[in-house]
Each structure stands twice: as structure tokens, then as C-alpha cells.
Amino acid sequence: MTTADILVGGRTLPRKYVPVLVTAGLFAAMFVIGGIRYEGFASGQVILNVLVDNPFMLVIAVGMTFVILTGGIDLSVGSVAALSTMVAASLLSGPGWPAPMVIVLVLAIGTVLGFGMGAIIHYFEIQPFVVTLAGMFLARGLCYTISTDSIPITDPLFTSVGQAQFYLTSDLWVSPSVLIGLVVVLVAAYVLHYTRLGRNVYAVGGGEQSALLMGLPVARTKIAVYTISGFCSALGGLLFSLYTLSGYGLHAVGWELDAIAAVVIGGVLLTGGSGYLLGTLLGVLMLGLIQTIISFEGTLSSWWTRMVIGLLLFAFILMQRLIGVRRK
């Protein structure tokens, strides 16, 4: 057994898997407790509803995972998502642009913003917190230059996709946005674990100077992860516009913190270099399940969601510290 392993049930288990397994175990325990306490809770549709209500957060958290794995942070994701809803709604309702053209433009805007922030972070050697904070204010401000009011979306394509349901069985269904979110997770997992870019992401997060000494393309990797995050933020905004059929400058307020929370609860190390997309998926499901339990309880304020998430964050950060996810 190496220093990177721990003993569980008489067997050695790599430490890097522990946070994900803890998240999965906690999610299962919460679901079982909810099923015992609340009538109608223990059903497959309850889990699917968590996905139906959070595909946009799942996509944004995927982009955040890439960034955090390199040891960075992206505070602009919520504002870029809101900007995406505003651009889509204004172009669809005003000039009446075709929906496919609007989708391409929105994704391009998010990708360009992410690329720009990544380039500034690397070439000017400015902390990601500062650059993405500026990006957050810029994107949110651009929302209000479009309109200060909510803009409804009545485009037939958006309306039909937003209201569509795919039935898995006669009683279980998901929305098209859930399928898009899961495809994003699968593609991102493949990129992280089976491509050169993915290996470079983990290497940069493990130590940027070491990655430079190994001759890895650090600049290209760092810019790539923020570009991916920008793309995912724009896509998340589009999915949210399908969910609400509207664009509004106050959409997605605080989503950057929710995305970071989901990634950390999913077991991704905040300092970078360790974590899995499966953990991020479980983290998003965990946040959604907490909201579901509080709604089933009926007597608790929605602020209890924030309190529970805060406690979970403390617990997982301490766990990461205590089990020593990274080899020493």
C-alpha cells in the first residue's frame, strides 16, 4: 500500500477515489432517508426531476471542472449564462433571427469571452479571480445594455424543445435539455481521460512549473479550459432559456458559486490536479436533491438549501485536506 492509498474494509483504495465515493454514498443515503420520511419521494422520477430542473447547472459545472482542475477559478459563468439568455431572447423577439443562427451566435460569444479571459490570465499573469471577476461584471453589464426587463421567448423551435418530453418508460421522462447535459458530460469525460488535452489539464493542475519543465503546452491548456468554460456557460444559458422561455439580466445570479460548490462536493480538488466528471455529476445531483428534500419538507425556508450546501462544502474541503488526495 502506497501513501496514495487508504485501507477500506481490508482492501486498499486509492485516495483520489474517496471523495467521489463519499459523495455517491451520501447521495444514496439522502435518497433513502427521503424515501422513508416523505411519501412519493422514493421514485425514479424524483431523481429524473433533479436532472430536469438542473441541466444548465450540470453543463456549467462541467466547464468549471476543467478550470478548477488546472488550479484556476471562473467567476463569470453565471453572468455569461445570463448574457446568453438576453442575447437569445432579444434576437428572437426583435429582429426575428432564425433560432439556429441565434444558437450559434450565443455559443460563439461565450466561447470568445472565455478565450479572452484565458489569454489575459496567462499572458499577463493576472490571477484568475481578478480576471473572471471583471468578466462577471462585464457580462452582467452587457445584459442591461440590451434591456432591463425580462424578454419572453416565443420562437416555435425554442418553445417546442423547451416543452418536449422524452419518455423512458410509461411513467419516467426527461427533457431534451437533460439529454444535452448528459452528452456534454460524456464528451467532457472522454476529453479529460482519453485525450492529450485532458492529460495536460491534470498535469498543469498538479504543478504548472513541472508541466513547463516537461515541455507541455501550458499556455494552450490554460486558455483552452477557460474557452471550454465560456462555451459551457453559454450553452447553460441557452438551456436555461429553454427552461424559462425568457431572457433576463437577473437570471443566473450566484450560479458561479453553485457551480464551484457542485464541483468541490463532487470531489475535485480546489488546488487542481485531482477529480472526475462523475463527481461533478454527483455534486450537481446532490445540490438538486437537497432542494427537493427541502421542498418536500414544506416548512423550511429556501435559505436552508444554502446552509446545508455551506456545511457540505466545509465537510468536503476538510475531508480533502485530511485524506491527502494529492501524493506528498
pLDDT digits (tens, 9 = 90+) for 55-67: 999 999 999 999 9
As given in the structure block, the three cell numbers for residue 63 are 466547464
Packing angle between helix 218-244 and helix 55-69, nearest 10 degrees?
Answer: 170
For every residue of 250-269, DSSP letters joined together read TTTTTHHHHHHHHHHHTT--
Residues 6+ apart with CB under 8 A from 216: 200, 203, 204
What is the pLDDT, as a whole number, of residue 41?
86
What is the pLDDT, as a whole number, of residue 325?
46
Sorted by where each starts, the structural domains of the chain and their CATH numbers stand as 5-323 (1.10.3470)
Highest mean predicted confidence (pLDDT) among 191-195, 271-275, 312-316, 319-323: 191-195
* Per-residue DSSP letter, 189: H
pLDDT digits (tens, 9 = 90+) for 308-320: 888 888 888 787 7
Neighbours of 107 (CB within 10 A): 19
Across the chain, mean pLDDT equals 90
